[in-house]
Amino acid sequence: MAFNGYGVWAIYRFEMARALRTLWQSIITPVVTTALYFVVFGSAIGSRMTEVSDVPYGLFIVPGLVMLSLFTNSIFNGSFGIYFPKFTGTIYELLSAPISPFETVLGYVGAAATKSVILGLIILATAALFVPLQILHPFWMLAFLILISATFSLFGFIIGVWAQSFEQLNFIPMLIVTPLTFLGGAFYSIDMLPAGWRVVSLFNPVVYLISGFRWAFFGVGDVSIMVSLGATLGFFLACLAVVWWMFRTGYRLKN
């Protein structure tokens, strides 16, 4: 079957239009939240902890703030896009349409990742109002931004297929991903921790994502850039494998 570009575009356009209808929730709320983080962490904590890894603290937390919003919004956008058709029953029309599972995922995840990338860039622009923003490796910053957005949008898609209620839809982002982000070096370097806790932190997958993204800004990270890149790509491929299995078996899609 030939590639159904029109079907992919229809899904993508619908999901992007939904973001415009919920502009306050999709864009403005995360930006306001980021500004509040700068006021609290940048002023209150930054006045007591001036530098981390030779980087001013207000500047050091920028990558962590972007990642904090990126993780949660990518998951929300990716999960809600596929969960809502399941909730309304229109998922069966989608499954019977002349569009392949790959094209379906490309439309939904592509739109979710696009919204997350735009949000990340807007947060960076907001951060530039508070601190003199610097990016040593802009190519790698953008590459990590796109890859992480796509990865967590895929992860959100998996959650959307798995969830059977709105409570389950919010369970993993709120009770698992957000705590892992705070414990993953979003606002500090894990080198500041005692040796034992640093070893424990290395079992947190979020550490590798934040470290790679921070390296793109300052040339420093908690782990090697190649390890960070490998971990991010590994998570992306693992999510692809799970999505493939879901469509192959029809898990919570066809029954």
The verdict on residue 254 lying in a domain is no
| Confidence at residue 145, expressed as pLDDT on a 0 to 100 scale | 96
The verdict on residue 236 lying in a domain is yes
Task: Encode burial over 3-32: b for 16+ CB neighbours within 10 A, e otherwise.
Answer: ebeebbeebbeebeebbeeeeeebbeebee
Distance CA 235, CA 146 (A): 14
| Confidence at residue 29, expressed as pLDDT on a 0 to 100 scale | 78
* Residues in Cβ contact with 183 at an 8 Å cutoff, skipping those fewer than 6 apart: 201, 204, 206
Which residue ranges of the chain lie beneath pLDDT 50?
A: none
Backbone φ, ψ for residue 55 (5° rounding):
-115, 130
| Confidence at residue 47, expressed as pLDDT on a 0 to 100 scale | 62
Report the domain count for the chain: 1
| Confidence at residue 1, expressed as pLDDT on a 0 to 100 scale | 59
E strands, the chain, are 51-52, 55-56
| Confidence at residue 35, expressed as pLDDT on a 0 to 100 scale | 78
Tens of pLDDT along 178-198? 888 888 888 888 988 888 888
The verdict on residue 135 lying in a domain is yes
| Confidence at residue 44, expressed as pLDDT on a 0 to 100 scale | 67
Its pTM stands at 0.92
CA nearest neighbour of 131 among 41, 28, 71, 27 = 41
Range of the domain at 168: 5-249
Distance CA 225, CA 127 (A): 24
The verdict on residue 159 lying in a domain is yes
